[in-house]
Amino acid sequence: MSEQQIKITLAQLNPTVGDVTGNAAKARAARDKAKADGADLVVLSELFIAGYPPEDLVLKPAFQSACRAAIEELARETEDGGPAMLIGTPWVEDGKLYNACALLDGGRIAALRFKANLPNYGVFDEKRLFARGPASGPVTVRGVRIGVPICEDIWLEESEDYENVVECLAETGAEILIVPNGSPYARDKADLRLSIVVARVTESGLPLVYLNEVGGQDELIFDGASFALNADLSVAAQLPAFEENITTLTWRKTADGWRCNGPITAQLEGDKADYAACVLGLRDYVRKNGFPGVLLGVSGGIDSALCAAIAVDALGADKVRGVMLPFRYTAQVSLDDAAKLAAALGIRYEILPIADAVNGFETILAPVFKGLERDITEENLQARARGTLLMAISNKTGAMVVTTGNKSEMSVGYATLYGDMNGGFNPIKDIYKTEVFRLSSLRNAWKPDGALGPMGEVIPVNIIIRPPTAELRENQTDQDSLPPYEVLDAILERLVEREEPLATIIEAGFDRDVVTRVDRLLNIAEYKRRQAAPGVKVTRKNFGRDRRYPITNRFRDFGKALPEPDEKLVTRTSRASAEAFEG
């Protein structure tokens, strides 16, 4: 008796939201590769034909129709006898919109499966967009019963309305689980995904293929890193992260079920993964939105230096333009370091002094400011003059301005609206200042595969070791206005990512006055963050898609110990449902 096997091609690809024709072409090319490999099935990621996440675009009837027409055309093409295709798509049925996966085979849409569990936390908003699908049995490909849970369908929650899709599939005869995903990158996410998959494999006793998309979509980065586990929890295959990849896996049926021994690629971790995410995010934002290149203010400081390195790695030196905009407080060392940075990266570089612009503004404002003391207003005129000039160059050339504020600055408002906050995208928006230092040193010793910048020391060491300064007045340093970054970032991580009460942070050993001051700055800077450019998400809670606080907000945590709930005030009937009460 011949050995039973099935060849499954994993198409870890980079779709573009809204580019239905382009996404269909990618799917078609992946199927051609699968056909050449002798595959039985090619698998693409969640909502692939639409791009993920489509947000409210998916509610547009014309878009729904375009996605369906593309799926139907791809289905007709499977009449050639080549591999079947499993592809994510929005799908309207009986007046309801579903997050679906379509099996295309034999010239038709052979099966549809709908996502049952819709995430509505963090960056996700699917309960508002899609109807909940029923738990369904497996689909059949070349005689093999394939279970198709979609992304959240394997992330079990403790809630009454959660459908255990994997349990249903196992009970109805699935032999292999294939999970199409749109799972965004976040620090240490790979470990979380693996633990989830291990739990599902353990519960079901079935091998599982976890296929994730790759690429940048606004603030979200999809890292790919698709993988498969055998039923005994051994790694069957591991695809690379942060790059497109098409790999065909051969699964063979043994006495213990289906098994695969495929390629295993080492994964990036920690700071290397964060840096690669920043590069991919900027690259896709620029390319997918059609910008011919980017420009940025190069100050001789570490934030702009790191952003320049990321930009060159993402786009190539010929697509990056650095502009030094000095004023009388700009030190010669800043001019020297900026020039060295530009030379090391090989970018176009020019110096545009801003004295005439700043002095002109002050002359115009003199009658209005008469009798008032000089203060931060005049300092901010420098930043706003720079922002205006960078935007003018952008307007003239079409190049996008890269803004360079780090997460520490975005947290406490240490940035100037319509000045250094000007720009279209910020690759380090979710990177704290202490991490900026680490990533800069890392980049001088390493660069990710596919990066277009040069190897070696691209960020002058003096930029890394020099005390940070905005150079808006004589002998200014950031630490004149802020706590040391090691302290500031540790407090911010607890306030932003962990949402810890002030009392808890103070109990951990941080100075009460410093903690309350940082919390106050975080609260009052919300209006600035609402006007900030989008930027790459790398932490578990970024500003924008994750952390959405009201601008008008009078609540303040004063660092007092939290009172214990008084359960005696809660009556039994106050917890009862309306139905129970009426009964």
Supply the residues annotated as catalytic.
Answer: 46, 115, 151
The answer for residues whose C-beta is within 8 angstroms of residue 119's C-beta and 6 or more apart is 126, 127, 151, 152, 155
Whose structure tokens read 């952008």? 394
Closest Cα partner for 321 from 330, 312, 329?
312
Structure tokens at 262: 């495929």
Query: What is the chain's percent helix, strand, coil content, to nearest 5?
Result: 40, 20, 40
Determine the 3-state secondary structure of 426 from DSSP. Answer: strand
Residues 523 and 498: their CA atoms lie apart, in Å, by 16
Of the candidates 126, 121, 68, the one whose C-alpha atom is nearest the C-alpha of residue 93 is: 68
CA-wise closest residue to 90 among 128, 127, 63, 108: 63
d(CA 425, CA 268): 24
- Cα gap 407→418, rounded to integer Å: 18
- Burial category of 466 from C-beta neighbours within 10 Å (exposed 0-12, middle 13-18, buried 19 and up): middle
DSSP E strands, 274-356? 294-297, 320-324, 348-351
Q: Please, what's the b/e burial string for 414-431 (b: 16 or more CB within 10 A of its CB; e: otherwise)?
A: bbbbebbbbbbbbbbbbb
